Structure 1
């Protein structure tokens, strides 16, 4: 495979490709042989990074429920082992657990050492034929330049065989026990310390991904009634719905299950459990702005005046909730979970207390959890608050009942049919900035970190829009919100009239 084809496997700070046939016009470009080369490349990269010979390195590997996972895991393990690395396979695992294996040992299982590196085989919520790799050290996930270096090296390495058997370890039990202990200690129930969720009905939708462990390894030991949980069995074809807390069908499914089973809380995970969302006892979704608001309400009680970092498409109502009602600071940054995490880390280094970095997609990383985007850890915070509010005769929803939510919202994506799509997109944004300056009822929002965000002040609009270049694709992404009926349509009509002057924009 040519070097350029290897580079096309890069997806930001991950590797992703097509691992299975079965989808029209999508050719396989991520094979067992390539996994072998990637394993060798990671071994060499890690050896250099840690100044440690490969023979002394220990690496853990895990995977989500995708059909191609076992074969890619074998290829990756072989590539690592022919390089001299000691490999341990966790089997079905979550992305956060893989990182935790680099900082938390499995002493209870007779494994006293932490791992030097970890690799998760996943493609998040993408279709069944996709797969990929996420890499970790104790310092966190690899960055974009690291992935490019890995792929450069992998392209030069031949497929090599190794008959050495791979060790296995049930690390998910270790990871889950840490969540259980956190809930027990935080609630500290006077009457049933071991089962502080006793009397609560909590159901999980794992979307046939890797999140089913949360029922039998976390909720049930804590005493919760989990009857009504759904799609817990791993199935790499994802037959019920896309395992994605942003997907409307997925959220509708867990919301309906909560109402049908009269549950106190519903939980939904994405495929590899680095994202999550919830549903309150009324069947209302707690995701996107509502999840951010709830976590802010929880964290700002113990971190008054702290800063919450979010991505760029959060609502004006969320800013008002965080700053006016909770007396915190809302730092709206860029899209991309690595972007918000790195910004939160930067702010903390500058002495600005920032306990949370979170995207509307559900990627949420907390300072007290290594700034790891961990969907299960986020849910443990909600479980703790759920138990406490119940003891106070309150509900989780009461914490965000004053959050102002838009009457309408919409997201659109416009393809750019130009070979130099970045330059063309920037030209569109520059022209829009000039256009907005001529509109008396539109105002560019200051301190914006990507694209152009505009406050729409007209009586029939009362909202905002953000137009930005996609992080990876030849696309201009548009987000709009309005506090009045029909407002989004009016904003969109004005924007479409402006963009009609750009022939390389596909305005369908």
Structure 2
């Protein structure tokens, strides 16, 4: 009987599922066969393989290695590392071929796969194509090897050679018991920081808090520790170290779209006129700041693989998204790397004569909401958005962006509704100059959404 690969585990940005529920050793080995065959057809001979600290990681990593080796690929085993180290190894050792076994910021019972072939981070059709390839038995056969390769020291040295801090910072590092704990504190110490560690022991049960810095409740321990210890800044990493959260000396979160303003100004000081890319969930203040700094802002689709592809296609030096993925192609490789982003932020803070508190306080801000979700059944969000797209005339007076959902920008703020690419839900976000503007924009969206689906329950 042929193994069935559940369609539900093949997502827009990666492969992901609950371990033991259609996603386990047999499925991962099969995907390894398909991925290895794809890589071999593109001329690959070797591939880097890493994992995060989840309890299921070792056995799923072995399964992936077996699948890849069965196609004739040589597997470079990196062990337990943050995802950026896997990307680094793929760029420097394997011509852009790599697989990371990681559940990212998901609960402990999840795991997944982030995949690169020939420098391309697979997404969309490239991911679902692996399922088709396996089902159609278009598989390459061979006898590949597997060997341990240590690249973490080279990775650390490369960052330290690029970053220069002008004064000593005291930082708190919260790794949420994720894979960033193996390197993030060491990196910051080598850069000259005084480091206070918080939950840096790798533990796939995540016993202290969920490793997702985009949610305010997961920053609470970091905020208290920063404020209590008198640190200059706090850094939080997600489960596999490719997303960054930041808190001020006062313990207040600095959301990624505001961090992008600092990063963009810094990059544009050396690359005047360059394009800066960000996703549709980011603040309108970001585009204004990019223009004011002499750059060209471009709004793009949400998703780390989609932003990476756009960065590469446009040769832009910087991209970022609201979830905390930052992509530096200026001085770095263009992949999302929270450790490197933290180092770049430390460099910016120490190059400024103002205190970190003053730097963060001076960033343009607005009244905004976090991501709001409307849960639906499978398939419903897409149908809803099709119907809503036919009613965009109800957003009269707004500048519409429809590359990823519907975003309506008014003179004093904006609103967004789009399909989540990870769960069957709608994602909404709102921003305005003041509370009355926020309420007015939300009322407009409420009217349009209730016209599409009368009785829909909205979280605003």
Aligned length: 455
For residues 472 and 268 of structure 1, the distance between their equivalents in structure 2, rounded to whole angstroms, comes to: 22
SS of alignment partner, residue 101 of structure 1: helix
Classify the secondary structure of the residue corresponding to 2:246.
strand
3-state DSSP class of the match of 1:310?
strand
Q: Which has the larger radius of gyration?
A: 1
Asked if the contact 1:444/1:454 (under 8 Å) is kept, the reply is yes
1:271 aligns with 2:239: yes
- 1:404 matched to 2:358? The reply is no
* Counterpart-to-counterpart distance in 1, 2:309 and 2:59: 33
How do 1:147-296 and structure 2 match up within 5 A?
Answer: 147-155=127-135, 166-183=146-163, 186-187=164-165, 199-226=168-195, 228-296=196-264
Structure 2 contact 385–405 (Cα < 8 Å) conserved: no
Q: How far did residue 269 of structure 1 move?
A: 1.0
Q: Distance in 2 between matches of 1:174 and 1:419?
A: 45
Query: Paired residue for 1:29?
Result: 22
Work out whether 1:63 is the aligned partner of 2:51: yes
2:11 maps to what in 1?
11
Query: Whole-Å Cα distance in 1 between the matches of residues 123 and 452 of structure 2?
Result: 35
Q: Give the Cα separation in 2 of the matches to 1:35 and 1:483.
A: 48
Residues 289, 429 of structure 1: alpha-carbon distance in 2 compared, 3 angstrom cutoff: same
Contact 2:182 2:202 in 1 (8 A): no
1:359 aligns with: 321
Tell me if structure 1 keeps the 8 A contact 2:68–2:144: no
2:387 alignment partner in structure 1: 427
Q: Which whole-Å CA distance do the structure 1 matches of 2:9 and 2:103 have between them?
A: 12
- Once the two structures are TM-superposed, the CA of residue 12 in structure 1 deviates from its matched residue by 1.3
- Residues 1:504 and 1:168: Cα distance change in structure 2 (over 3 Å): farther
Q: 1:40 aligns with which of 30, 33, 46?
A: 33
Residues 412-448 of structure 1: per-residue CA shift (max 9 Å, x gap): 22345585652442112322x12223xxxxx221555
Q: State the Cα distance separating 1:64 from its structure 2 match.
A: 0.7
Cα separation, 2, equivalents of 1:6 and 1:155? 11
**In structure 2, distance between residues paired with 1:335 and 1:249:** 23
Instruction: Mark the CA change 1:88 to 1:319 in structure 2 (over 3 Å): closer, same or farther.
Output: closer
User: In 2, are the aligned partners of 1:41 and 1:153 still within 8 Å (CA)?
Assistant: yes
The DSSP-based 3-state class of the residue aligned with 1:327 is coil
- 1:102-128 Cα deviation digits (max 9, x unpaired): 2325xxxxxxxx466321001211111
Aligned mates of 1:167, 1:329 — CA distance in 2: 45
Superposed, 1:315-326 pairs within 5 Å as 315-324=283-292, 326=293
Which whole-Å CA distance do the structure 2 matches of 1:34 and 1:167 have between them? 23
Distance 2:444 2:13 in 1: 37
Runs (5+) with no aligned partner, structure 2: none
| Aligned-partner Cα distance in 2 for 1:71–1:11 | 22
Task: Give the structure-1-normalised TM-score.
Answer: 0.81
- In the TM superposition, 1:432-471 aligns within 5 A as 433-437=392-396, 443-446=397-400, 449-456=403-410, 462-471=412-421
8 Å CA contact 2:122–2:305 kept in 1: the answer is no
Secondary structure of 1:240's aligned partner:
coil
Provide the rounded CA distance (Å) in 1 between the counterparts of 2:435 and 2:380. Answer: 38
Secondary structure of the 1:212 match is helix
Q: 1:476 aligns with which of 395, 417, 426?
A: 426
CA distance in 1, matches of 2:51, 2:378: 37
Q: Distance in 2 between matches of 1:364 and 1:469?
A: 22
Closer/same/farther in 2, CA of residues 501 and 173 from structure 1, 3 Å limit: same
Contact 1:293 1:400 in 2 (8 A): no
The aligned residue for residue 106 of structure 2 is 126
Q: Given the two structures, how large is their TM-score scaled by the length of structure 2?
A: 0.89
- Provide, for residues 288-345 of structure 1, a one-character-per-residue CA deviation record: whole Å limited to 9, x for no partner: 2221111112111112222211111222222222223x23222222222233333333
Shift of the 128–374 alpha-carbon distance from structure 1 to 2, 3 Å rule, reads same
1:191 alignment counterpart: none
In structure 1, C-alpha distance between the alignment counterparts of 2:432 and 2:243, rounded to whole Å: 27
Structure 1 segments unaligned to the other structure (5+ residues): 21-27, 106-113, 188-195, 349-353, 438-442
Name which of 304, 313, 317 aligns with 1:346: 313
Task: Tell me if the contact between 2:224 and 2:251 (Cα under 8 Å) persists in the aligned partners.
Answer: yes
Aligned equivalents of 2:247, 2:86: Cα separation in 1? 27
Please identify runs of 4+ aligned residues in structure 1 that moved more than 6 A: 1-4, 162-165
